[in-house]
Every structure is written in structure tokens, then in C-alpha cells.
Structure 1
Amino acid sequence: DTATQLTNTFTNTIYYDANASDNKYFNENAQKAVNALIFALLEQADQTGDYSKLTPNNLVELLSEIGGFNYYPDPENEFKQLNALDEFMNQLPPGNIAKKQYGATKIGSDKAKGNILSTAITGLNPFTLTKIAKMTSQSTIDYKSIGFPKYLDLKLHESLLNQRIVVEFYHKGKKFHEERVKVGYRGFCEINFDCHLEQGDHVCLKYNHQGKQYVAWYEFSQKVLKDEEGKIVYRKKRGETHLPELEKEAVLTLDEKKSNLLVESIRMHYTDKPMAIFMLTPDYDPSNHIIVSIFLSQLYKELSTQCVKTKGDKCHRRIHFILDEFGNMPPMDNMEGIMTVTAGRNMLWDLFIQSYQQLYAKYGEQNAAIIKENCQTHIYIMSTDDNTIEEFSKKVGNKTVEQENSTINSLGMNTHINRNVDSDRILTPERISTFLEGETIVLAPLKRQDLKGHKIRPYPIFNHGETNLPYAYQYIEDFNPSWDINDIDIHCTHADLDLKALQIDYDYFLPDEYAR
């Protein structure tokens, strides 16, 4: 189920288009066809035990090589031609998930099938670029650690499926924290914890069965982290490069004398350091922006999955998504659903757009409205879109204006005075469209408490004059926009990656000897 969900997240980000209309059929079935190929690659990896070849680059090559390969099963019969991909899917057993996903493509007409596979290969086009192929074939980012910096991964005997394991943490012999977890598929367990550990603390795994207790005692320590070449890894701070910090990794040492519970493998990730991930995408080439959307969708999916497994149902570390030019990014899968629940999961989203119209154009009217409604704070800086300007002007509200009219006779004397009460905008569209630098409007309709917890009415806020929004250079002492990314040393493990070394064995996907 997890593999299916992750696969759908990946492909839906590529092929979902709220404005597809007539192309919706081809987009949906292209997604299913690619799902089928991913599951086929996954089954091959299960058999070989080598998951390093399960990459988008191999996915593209498999679709190109096998999907477009036709052959004659009988050399003497030139009228019977078969497609290698169709035949591979045919020979899979009934109920196979790859076979079911490919079904709509197979039963369609030759023209429809051609359009589906053409749509599929077009969606995967960014992964054909060598740099992107390398980057997506190897990664050092641990998605889970972004929201859960402290966790245990362990494997017990698969016979313990659905059994409850208690994890206890001890400091100087006294228990100070406890977690409970049920053993998952094939004996795998994930325990996310949020407590501070010191050198020499202990972690104890406990399992009770038929009145007998099984335990595994581990001592916690940290050692200096080294890279693949055996060199010590340092982390440098800006302004303190002369004081590099040593990177450390957690180590658990089994106390065999106290332990009688068989733990096949155990690994702890432990850090208190903050983390920031910067996604740099060229504004002059939006063709690869899909990579950003895929990364965000996969990250959200992993963090949400971990939230469900964690006491409190939220990330232990707050996640702040700061998405500049969100309106120019490809649509994220189920963004309207994401926005309704993430605040409770300790995830915040800052979406920067040029106008509300960008949102409607990208996600469609209905989904865009849901995304917009679930943004608890709207900040207007400047826009040239009339609809956006009008909406902010209207939401700021109206004021009462008293008008006085007088009638003057031929002698120049007032003979009659009329007073009328009318309504006018507090901030007119004309005023909003000509904001000075630093002026902003803040709409926070759900903010009904002040900093001291007192109840307040969520009136709109107009920042101007003394409350102007300050620019970064005005309060950040070392603000320097002229920094060059080339001056930063970025350790890149995939730069010298040999894609040929990760190439799959195509014979596995060729159904008979005539195809080979």
C-alpha cells in the first residue's frame, strides 16, 4: 500500500492538469501506464535485491525501449506482430498490480494507445536530461528527518507482526520517556520520539508474550561522522568558518547480558540541529519546475505518513514551506486537501503569488477557492490584477461618509441644507493599486486572540507610516544580495554518478526468445 501511495503521488504530480478537458483521458491513462512500469521495476528490484536501479531515468528508458519495441513471434509469419510491453504485461499473473494499471492502455485502440504512451513519455521528459537523471538517481536527503529528527528504525522477526513493542528511555537508571509501537510488515518498526538523550543513556525494547518478557538493552552514544573516504565531516556556520562543528551520528551498543529479544537490525537518527532545504530553479526555464512539485509532494506524503504513526499526530519539528512564485509551479497533487489539514500537523505554508488569478488558472476555480480559503493569513504587498485589488479593497471594509448639500438662491444665500449618509471604501482600489513601498494589508480572519490570549475581533490591518513593512537590508546587518552560489561548497554525491552502472537488464522485460 505504501508503494502504491508513493507511486501515485509521483505520477499524479506529473500528469494532473486541472485544465486538461479533452486530454484528461490521455493524462489519466498515461499516469496508470507509468504506474504499471514503476511497479514492474519494483518487482524486479524485489527479486534482485538491488533497489538502486529503481530510478526515473530507468523508467524513461524502459518506456522508450520496451514500449516502442515490436517483434515477430513467428519468423515465418510476417503478418503477426506483437508489442514487447503488451506481452510482458500479459504474462504477469492475474491480479498483479502492474497488469491492472496497464489494462486501460492495452485494451485501447492502436491510436489511443499511441497517444497514451506519447503523453506518458512527454511527462517524463525532464528526467531525460543528464543532470536531472543523475540528481534523481541518488539522494542524501532523509525526508523523515526533516520533521522527525529523532527516530528509531528496527527490524524484528516477522512472526511478531502486529505485536506491541514498548520502547523505554533511561537516564542514570531512571526511566524518563516511553513510546509504544506495533510491529509492521516483515517485522519492520518505526519509532519517532522527541526527548533529549545524553552520552551513556539507555534505550530498552520490551515485548511480553505468554507471561514472559523479552528485552533488548542498548547504550546510546555519539561518534564523529565520516564520509565514504573516511574523512571527518564538518559543518561550518556563516561568520564562524574558523570554528567548524563536528558532525556526529548516533550509535546504539547492545548489552548482550541483559538482552534476550532478537533484534535483526536497529538504527537511530538523532540530531537537535535545525535544517533548511533550498530549492534553486531557473526562472528562465520552467520546464524543470516539475521536479520541485514532485519533491514537495513526496516530502508532504512522507511527513503525513509519519504523523499518523506518531503520538500527537504532528511533526516534532515545525515545517515551514516558503514557496516563492508558487503561481508558476506545476500543480501539486491534492493541494486543496493538504491546506485543510497541515496546520494541525505542525506544517505551515507561505504561498507567494502575483494575483489570485494565478491560483485559479493553475488549480481550477473550485480547488483554487479551497486553497485560498484555507490560507489563514492573506498579505497584500502589490498587484496589478484588478480582481485581486478589488477583493482586498472590499475585505478591508467600508466607512460611513456624511455629505452635506446646500441650495443657494439668486441673492447668494443658503436656503436649504441636505445631509446624506453614504458608505465608501476605507481603502479604495485606486489607493491600494498605488501603495508606497512597505505598505501592506493583512487579513487574518481566524486570528481571534492577541499575544496575551485575550479575545479580539479579527479586523483587517493596514500597515503604513510607522508600521511599514521593513525591507531586509534595513534590519539584517549582514544582508548581502550579491552573494554567489558558486562561492558555496556543496557536497554533491551524484555529480560523478555513472548512469550506465545503474542500467537495468532489459531481458527481464522481454517475454520470449524471439523478442530477445
Structure 2
Amino acid sequence: MATIWAILIMLCKLIFFIPLKIVELLLFSKWTCLSIIAYLVARLIYFCYQTKPSLKTLFNLAKVEILKLGRLLKAVWKHILEIGWQGNLSVGIALLSLTVGNLFFQLIYKLPFVNLARKRFQKESQPFLRFRTWRSWLAMGLVGSIGALMLTSWLVCLLRGVIPLIYNLGKASFDIRSLLLSNLFKFGMFNQAPILAWPIFLTLEVVVWKSAWINWEQYRDYNHNESGDDRFAKLSELKRQYKRIPDKAKTYPGHSGVPVIHVNKNNLPGWALNSQMKFRARWFSKWFLWSEYILGLNKVPAGYYYLEDDTINALITGMTRSGKGEGLVNPAIDIASRAEEKSSLILSDAKGELYQASYKILRKRGYNVQVLSYMDMDWSMSYNPLALAIDAAKHGYYEKTQAYVNSVAEAIYRKSLGKGAGNEKYWEDTSIALFNAITMALIDRANETSQKATNPEIDAWDTITIRNVAKFLNDLGSDSVIDLEKSTRNRIVMKSKLTDYFDELRQVNVIRFSKFREMADINFRASDFASEETKGNVYSSMMSGLNLFLQDNIARLTSKNSLDLRSIGNPRRLSIRFKSSSINNQANRYAHKPALISFYSEANGPKQGKGRLGGGRLRSARKKYFVKESKVLLDGRGYLNFNLQPQLPKRFYLEIELDGQTYKWVGNKIYQGTDEYTGEAILTGINLREITKPTSKPRALVDPAEIEFVYSEKPIALFMVTPPDKPEYYDLVSLMIDQIFNANYELALASDSRKTTVRVQFILDELANISKIPNMATKLSIGLGQNICFMMFVQNLEQIEDKYGKENTASIIGNCSLNILIKSTSAKTAEAYSKALGVKTITKREKGTNILNEANPHINTRNPEQRLLTANQLSKLESGEAVIIRGVKAQDKAGRKVTPDPIFVHGKTELPYRYMFLADEFDQSTTVGDIPIESKHRDLDLNDVAVKADNAWEKMRDWHNRLEKANDCELAGRHDKVA
């Protein structure tokens, strides 16, 4: 027992008294030492005082977590009661599966004959002992100095016991206490015997520091990243840089984005998900999902996603069957639908599986879900590519109409990479010009016949379809008439009816000018330089691009329009026309005038103040402004166009100040029916009623028919089903993407915020299966500033190069802030990603031996460069793993600058698959028959919207003849007969 106490006392001295003695020895003052200790204690107290709020916050966080756990247990207990005690057996099995079963699996999986995964990504063997900085040498020296100090004390005590014995040989006895280990701590020997102590101590110090220097030189790390200092981002860094959101079920603040990594929670669903990610058999996942459902844990998040929620573009590369859909596409849809600030989604869906599986959950979360299906067109929305041009023409926007028509023509005919050259470009240009001419001619015909004073053609605008353009060319381009101007007695010159139609159109425009007719004529003349023989080739070139639209199913689908493409990003828009005269041809004095627009609501009933009469005097009601005096410029036609950002209450007021006068309307939301998924009333529109008109003149004329208020509070999810076995439909998908981008980008630029009201996110799976999107590289670079972003999936980088060309491919990749590689066996793709990851400096040791001196081998070290991951390693990534190259990441969540190191998603951060935790959200059993799809074209008779070309030609000639006699006659409509 005495020995134990002695050891304990010696340990106490070692821990508490040695530092004090060392400091006392160095400072030669006990009071100085005590002063320093007092100062340190004071600093500790001050630090505790300063961190009191943080400690309080930590306590509150712990309290919140405990309350969450309590609510979770309460919900589980309630769920068990709901399923009845008859399910006790199921509950017990489920509980055992998630606890004991999970633990058992985790232990078993650690056995080497169960977990057959080999070590990967380890291409450097670090030595057992390595000193990195000069602090290591300093630490060795200080530790050695302490040892020298203690050894000096012990040796001095020993010498003081031995010296008397030497001087008094045979007379004095040796003091055995000089050998005690407690003498190691007798630092007072430096004062009692300095002649012995200091020489010994200084000698030992020289030995200690010299030895420390030798060891440091021998084992120091000479790797100073001379060949490269690239590395992967650490998990702690990623947690500081990205927003954390629950991985399922729960909403979260802010916008959605691209998931970067996933981290499991330390709860039962998190443990289950961890097991599923290690053993990815689907039957294994079904068992855990069943257990979670029985215990009511199927809506409890199993972990967290760390999300890049900035407006960025992402390019995801993964070969077929690499898990792109399960690991990123499906989770991206779920993540977007749970955000408080939801984005509108435009998704390419090769087989329609995404649409069917996610329809119900998107509807429940407040989305307006639409599908453009080229797989079964009778169960699809309608889409007229000329709808934007028709709307612009109705408002009298001539230049916009021409631009929209030209964009459709470019998407149909411009196939060459770059700008094209030679004959290819010639045929493209002439086809585009001829398409523009015929379309503008049909628009002019609809504009004239719909505005007739007598017997107007009410459905004239419905005839503006690409099928009618093709029929117009086919019917008139194949027939000929005599050219009276060029024919002589001896020679008859023929010309096509199409040429004659545009000749008549030009003559009509001389008598009665129309901007639409002028544009049609200019475009036709641009394609009319060839001889009559060559024109046949021009017509054939144009028809080759329109044959698809002559198919009945495509013709019906593109003859109607279900969705306003501008509402995808701008669902709340107001358009009011102010006119100075009821005569359309007169100049509008309000064109290009500034106006102030305000939206506000008033409190229920006027406020009362105290007065002499008992009821008091009335005060004006308080106003709550949603938009206050925003300045807007009217356009050249007198339209006030305003893109409304905030949502409005059920009843609101609209006030516009124009030219010193105030116009006021009261608005009410119109509801009809109840949504079967959300249980909320369905908002169908806004009713505006004018309540205040200016009393003084002149005042603007406002026709209620020229007030358009587009209002919706739901984001849109648009699925474009493009079957891989029908590549002829890819052009239509590309055209729609181009139109959606251009329409929303244009409105965003005109708004106060320079952004779309709702973020527009394109999720384009299998981008290579979509025809070349016009100006794709430009879209990626300019769209982000207007709140439009792309998430694109390809199998390898060569697919982009084949579709867009080498120069555009570099621009497309460069405009993506996140380049994610899931897996690719393409050597070129793997090499590109490997090179982009960068290089690090490693320590490479080489051993050389001499047969005569094998006991002392020669070790040589070098510091060559090594890529973070080689191309071969990238081609062997496993399920759930990915490599992310970050182009732009300027700061973390706190605003501190960060270095955008690449991310290696593996191990604890790998991505789970949809079937592991989102089976309830994505119902794979849903079919098209379960989804109510409104299709305007399903029962459409194409003859109801057809324009008979020969009949239109005859009526154009008749109108020209009548205009020669009287300038006030009108063009006969489709249903009118020629006199």
C-alpha cells in the first residue's frame, strides 16, 4: 500500500509541480509565477463570461433537439395506436429490424469475408514517423530539456552522496536516499550545488538539442507541395459552405438547388439508410422501408443534403445505368418541390417515368403539372410553336412577331454547327426566309379578317399553325399560272401560284399599307432570287423541314396551345392599353409615356378618431402596399406591361398615375372548385373593376377588352416526354426549350428586379437526345443573372461536342459552376475530369541495398506530382460516389472567402438512391390512366383550323381587284364566298 501511495504522490508531483518548478526556475521568482497563474485564471473567467451567450445558445439547441425527440417518440406511439394492438407483432419485428438487425448487419459487414470491397484511391504510403514543421524540433528540444533538468537533479543528488564517500574512504557510509527517484524533482539542487548542476545541465542541453536537430533532419517532411497543392474539400469545410436541408418530407427556407453531398443522421432511419447504402439490394431496402412505415418513421428525415442553392448551371456526366436518375434526377425533383421558394421545373423525360412517378407529390406540394408527350399525343398538352408570335401580333407588336416567327424558323432549319458555309447555309437561309414570308402572310390574313366590320372571322387566329404554313407552300408552290407581265405573244412565261400570291400581296400593300404585309413581302423577296426552275429546290428544302408537321398527330398537337410559356417564370403579369383615340391608325399620345403603378390593400373598414360627435370623425383607411409607385414606361402601342413579383390578397387595389391623372381599379381573386390534392380553392383568375376615372380632359381611353391580368400563385412543372426511338420529335423539344428561355428572359429584363418572378430550372436528362438547342452556350452564360439555370445530364463529354461543336462545348462546360462526374468509361471524359481535379505532391521512397551491407539499406525520397484521381480510378467509381469540380464558390455561409476545391463524394458523403428513402414520394405504380390530362387537340378536326391555299389565293386576287376600284373594301374570310 505504501508503494502505491508513493507512486500516486510522484504522479501528482509530475503533473502539478513540475511546470511550477520550471517556471519558478526560469523566472527566479515565486511571486511572478503566481501573478502569471492569476492572470491566466482571470482570462479564463473572462472567456467564460464572453461565451455565456454561446453556451446559452448551445443549451437552447440541446433543448430543441430533446423536444424534437420527444415529439418523434410521441408520433411513433400515436402511429402504433392507430394501427391497433393487433399489429404488435409487426411493430416488434419492425423495431427489432431497425435496432438489433441494423446493429447486427453493421457488425457483420465489417468482417473481411462479408465486405469484399478493396482499398482504393490510396497511392501513397506515408512513413510511420514524420515531422512536418520546426515546431517538432522545438517540441523535442523542450521535452529533452525537461528530461535533462530532471536528470541533472538526480545526478547532483547522487554525486553529493558519492563525493563524501570518496573523500572519507572507509569512514563514511553511502546515503542510499541519493538513489531515490524522487530526487528527479529536487530542482533546488541548482541553488544548493550550482557548481555541479549547471555544467551537467548545459552538457546535457547540448546533447539534447543536437539530438533533436539530428532526428528532425532525419525524419522531417520535405514535401512542401512544390509539384502541386490541390486537394479535395474537407467535410467540415463543406458544412460551412453549403445550406443544409432535410433529405425528405420537410420543407426548408429559401430556394432549391443542386445536392452536393449527403450525410446520414444518427437516428433509426439514418441507421437504416446507412445499411442500405452499403448493401444496395432492393429487397433489402424494401424490408427497411416496411419497418419504417410500421413504426411511422417513413416521413422522418434519414439525413441531410448539403445544397448549392445559388443560381448556377450544373453539368452531370454519367454513363447509362450509372445511377444518374436514382441518385440525382429524382432527388433534385423532390428537393425543388420542398423549398419554400419553389422553382418552376422544365424536365426532359425520355420514357415518361419521371412524370408518372412524381405527378401526385408535385400536385400535393402546390405545383401546376403539365406534360408535353410525344409518346402518346392524345394524352398531352397542346403546344403551338407560333403561339408567342400570335400573341404579339394581336397586340400589334410587329417587330416581336417577326422575331418570334424567325426563332421558330431558325430552330427548324438551322442544323449546321457554327454559322455554316457554302450550299448548306444557302439552303438554310432561303428556307428560313420563305418560312417567315408565308407565316407573316398568314398572320396578315388573320389580322385583316378578324377585324372586319361585317362578318368577322372570329377564329382567324387559330389558323396560324405550322401545318397551314406547310400546306400553303405545298399547294401554291406546286401549281403555276401565267405571268402576264413577262409573257409575250411568242412566249408564255409561267410562275407559281405562291409567287403570284405574294405579287398580289405587294400590290395590295401599295394601296393599303400594313406592316405585316411589308414583312411578308420582304422575306419572300429574300428567298426569290433564284429562277423558277431553282425555286423548286428552294420549296423542297423548306418542305423537308415541315414534313413532320403534316403528320396528323403532330398537326393536331401543334394547332392548339395549352400553356403560356411566359408564365413559367413570370406567372403574374398585367397589361393595360391606354389610347388617346378610338381610331387605331391615329398616333397615340400616351406612347412611351412614364407611369406610376401601385398595388395595395386597405384595412377592413375606415379608422375612427375622437371628435365632438359621439361617433367621431372618419379617417382614411391604412394602406398596405405590395408595389408602391413603381415607374413603368408605356410601349409604342400604349401598353403598360408590368411584371408583378409579390402575391396579392383576395381583394386589392390597383392605382396608376399617367400624365398627371389617376386611374384606379379594385381587384378580386376568382376561385372555382377545390383541388383534390391540396384541398385548397382553385384560383382561376382576377376580376378588375374600374372605380376611379379622371374627371379632367384629356384622359386616356381604356377598353376593358385590352386589359389582361395573368395571375397564378403556383409554380409550373413541365415534363417533356421524348421517346428515344423517335428522334424526329427532338426538334420540337429543342424549339420549346428555346422559346421558354427567350420568352422568360425577355420579360425578366423588362422587370424592376431584372429577374424572373419564379426561378426557372431546366433539368435536362439525356441532353444528347435533344436536338441542338439554339445558342445554348449563350443561354448558359446570360440566364443566371435573370434567375434561369440549367441542370444537364450527359453520358460523356463527346456527346456535347458531337451536338454543339468543339468551341461551343468548351463554352458550355466553362459556364457550368458544377461539373459532376458520376461514372464514365470514356477515356477522353475521364482524362478531362482527372486533369481538372489537379495534382498534389507526394513523397515517394526508393530503397537501395548493398549485398555486403544489407542491414543498412539506402532510402532515397522524392516528391513527384500525382493527380488527385487518375482517369482509370474515375472510371471505377462505385454506386453513390461522384467527383465534383467547382468553378465558382466565392464565399461560405458566413461570408468568408473560400477556395473552391473539388469534392470527392464517397464514404459518409455518398448519395443515396431514390428507392432507399423516397419510395413514398415517387409512386412507381402510377400510370397515365391515373392522371387527368386536359388535351385541347384530342378531338380536333384539322379542317376546322385549315386555310385552303387555293381559296386564299383567289380571295387575295379578288381583294386586289376590288381595292383598285374602292379603298374601303375588306379581305374575304375563310367562310366568305368570292363574288
Normalising by structure 2, report the TM-score.
Answer: 0.49
Name the CA distance, whole Å, in 1 between partners of 2:731 and 2:564: 20
Name the CA distance, whole Å, in 2 between partners of 1:249 and 1:18: 44
Q: Is the 8 A contact 1:216 1:261 kept in 2?
A: no
Name the CA distance, whole Å, in 2 between partners of 1:192 and 1:407: 76
Q: Deviations over 1:169-212 (max 9, x none)?
A: 2221426223322222332221111223223321112212xxxx
The alignment yields a C-alpha RMSD, in angstroms, of: 2.4
Q: Which residue of 1 aligns with 2:689?
A: 253
How far 1:509 sits from its partner (Å)? 3.3
* Residue 166 (1) aligns with residue 596 (2): yes
Name the CA distance, whole Å, in 1 between partners of 2:935 and 2:683: 17
* Residue 218 (1) aligns with residue 665 (2): yes
Letter in 2 for 1:34: F
Q: Is the 8 A contact 1:252 1:267 kept in 2?
A: no
Q: Is the 8 A contact 2:671 2:681 kept in 1?
A: no
Name the CA distance, whole Å, in 2 between partners of 1:16 and 1:384: 32
Name the CA distance, whole Å, in 2 between partners of 1:473 and 1:245: 33
In structure 2, runs of 5+ residues without a counterpart are 1-398, 451-459, 511-516, 580-587, 603-620, 959-977
Match of 1:84 among 493, 497, 504: 497
**SS of 1:201 mapped into structure 2:** strand
How far 1:77 sits from its partner (Å)? 7.7
Bigger Cα displacement from structure 2, 72-81 vs 117-126: 72-81
Name the CA distance, whole Å, in 2 between partners of 1:6 and 1:120: 18
Bigger Cα displacement from structure 2, 333-342 vs 343-352: 333-342
Bigger Cα displacement from structure 2, 445-454 vs 90-99: 90-99
**SS of 1:247 mapped into structure 2:** strand
Match of 1:449 among 870, 887, 891: 891
Q: Which residue of 2 aligns with 1:18?
A: 416
How far 1:417 sits from its partner (Å)? 3.4
How far 1:317 sits from its partner (Å)? 0.8
Q: Is the 8 A contact 1:236 1:245 kept in 2?
A: no
How far 1:326 sits from its partner (Å)? 1.2
Match of 2:433 among 21, 24, 32: 32
Name the CA distance, whole Å, in 2 between partners of 1:333 and 1:36: 21
Name the CA distance, whole Å, in 2 between partners of 1:130 and 1:189: 40
Q: Is the 8 A contact 1:215 1:261 kept in 2?
A: no
Q: Which residue of 1 aligns with 2:823?
A: 382
Match of 1:282 among 716, 720, 723: 723
Q: Is the 8 A contact 1:324 1:352 kept in 2?
A: yes
Q: How many pairs does the alignment contain? A: 499
Q: Deviations over 1:464-483 (max 9, x none)?
A: 01111111222324133343
Q: Which residue of 1 aligns with 2:556?
A: 134
Q: Which residue of 2 aligns with 1:460?
A: 902
* Residue 206 (1) aligns with residue 657 (2): yes
* Residue 100 (1) aligns with residue 542 (2): no
Given the superposition, is the C-alpha separation of residues 90 and 412 from structure 1 closer, same or farther in structure 2, using an over 3 Å criterion?
A: farther
Q: Is the 8 A contact 2:656 2:663 kept in 1?
A: yes
Q: Deviations over 1:380-420 (max 9, x none)?
A: 11222211110111111112222222333334625643322
Given the superposition, is the C-alpha separation of residues 470 and 79 from structure 1 closer, same or farther in structure 2, using an over 3 Å criterion?
A: same
Q: Which residue of 1 aligns with 2:372?
A: none
* Residue 69 (1) aligns with residue 69 (2): no
Given the superposition, is the C-alpha separation of residues 407 and 168 from structure 1 closer, same or farther in structure 2, using an over 3 Å criterion?
A: closer
Name the CA distance, whole Å, in 2 between partners of 1:110 and 1:366: 39
Name the CA distance, whole Å, in 1 between partners of 2:632 and 2:929: 46
**SS of 1:473 mapped into structure 2:** helix
Q: Which residue of 2 aligns with 1:509?
A: 953
Name the CA distance, whole Å, in 1 between partners of 2:882 and 2:726: 31
Q: Highest relative contact order (Cα 8 Å, sep 6+), 1 or 2? A: 2
**SS of 1:360 mapped into structure 2:** helix
How far 1:133 sits from its partner (Å)? 1.2
Identity, in percent, stands at: 27
Find the structure with the greater CA-based Rg.
2
Given the superposition, is the C-alpha separation of residues 362 and 372 from structure 1 closer, same or farther in structure 2, using an over 3 Å criterion?
A: same
How far 1:489 sits from its partner (Å)? 0.9
Q: Which residue of 2 aligns with 1:60?
A: 470
* Residue 484 (1) aligns with residue 904 (2): no
Q: Is the 8 A contact 2:480 2:494 kept in 1?
A: yes
Letter in 2 for 1:57: R
Q: Is the 8 A contact 1:198 1:220 kept in 2?
A: no
How far 1:111 sits from its partner (Å)? 5.6
Q: Is the 8 A contact 1:381 1:439 kept in 2?
A: yes
Q: Is the 8 A contact 2:427 2:538 kept in 1?
A: yes
Letter in 2 for 1:491: E
Given the superposition, is the C-alpha separation of residues 258 and 90 from structure 1 closer, same or farther in structure 2, using an over 3 Å criterion?
A: closer
Q: Deviations over 1:266-319 (max 9, x none)?
A: 232222222211111112111011111111111112112212221121101111
Name the CA distance, whole Å, in 2 between partners of 1:280 and 1:311: 35
**SS of 1:236 mapped into structure 2:** coil
Q: Which residue of 1 aligns with 2:702?
A: 263
**SS of 2:739 mapped into structure 1:** helix
Q: Is the 8 A contact 2:683 2:712 kept in 1?
A: no
Letter in 1 for 2:405: T
Given the superposition, is the C-alpha separation of residues 188 and 52 from structure 1 closer, same or farther in structure 2, using an over 3 Å criterion?
A: farther
Q: Which residue of 2 aligns with 1:228?
A: none
Name the CA distance, whole Å, in 2 between partners of 1:489 and 1:199: 28
Bigger Cα displacement from structure 2, 46-55 vs 402-411: 402-411
Name the CA distance, whole Å, in 2 between partners of 1:325 and 1:114: 38
In structure 1, runs of 5+ residues without a counterpart are 226-231
* Residue 115 (1) aligns with residue 558 (2): no
Given the superposition, is the C-alpha separation of residues 430 and 347 from structure 1 closer, same or farther in structure 2, using an over 3 Å criterion?
A: same
Name the CA distance, whole Å, in 2 between partners of 1:412 and 1:128: 89
Q: Is the 8 A contact 2:749 2:786 kept in 1?
A: no
Q: Is the 8 A contact 1:380 1:440 kept in 2?
A: yes
Q: Which residue of 1 aligns with 2:52?
A: none
Given the superposition, is the C-alpha separation of residues 512 and 316 from structure 1 closer, same or farther in structure 2, using an over 3 Å criterion?
A: closer
**SS of 2:502 mapped into structure 1:** helix
Name the CA distance, whole Å, in 1 between partners of 2:647 and 2:528: 55
Q: Is the 8 A contact 2:477 2:497 kept in 1?
A: yes
Name the CA distance, whole Å, in 1 between partners of 2:846 and 2:624: 81
Q: Deviations over 1:99-119 (max 9, x none)?
A: 222234321245643333222
Q: Is the 8 A contact 2:818 2:886 kept in 1?
A: yes
**SS of 1:430 mapped into structure 2:** helix
Match of 2:735 among 260, 285, 294: 294
Normalising by structure 1, report the TM-score.
Answer: 0.90
Given the superposition, is the C-alpha separation of residues 218 and 23 from structure 1 closer, same or farther in structure 2, using an over 3 Å criterion?
A: same
Q: Which residue of 1 aligns with 2:307?
A: none
**SS of 1:18 mapped into structure 2:** coil
Given the superposition, is the C-alpha separation of residues 372 and 455 from structure 1 closer, same or farther in structure 2, using an over 3 Å criterion?
A: same
How far 1:120 sits from its partner (Å)? 1.2
How far 1:13 sits from its partner (Å)? 1.0
**SS of 1:6 mapped into structure 2:** helix
Given the superposition, is the C-alpha separation of residues 16 and 409 from structure 1 closer, same or farther in structure 2, using an over 3 Å criterion?
A: same
Letter in 2 for 1:215: T
Answer 1 or 2: which has greater strand percent. Answer: 1
Name the CA distance, whole Å, in 1 between partners of 2:957 and 2:729: 38
Q: Which residue of 1 aligns with 2:876?
A: 434
Letter in 2 for 1:134: R
How far 1:451 sits from its partner (Å)? 2.6
Q: Which residue of 1 aligns with 2:838?
A: 397
Name the CA distance, whole Å, in 2 between partners of 1:363 and 1:420: 44
Bigger Cα displacement from structure 2, 348-357 vs 184-193: 184-193
How far 1:261 sits from its partner (Å)? 4.8
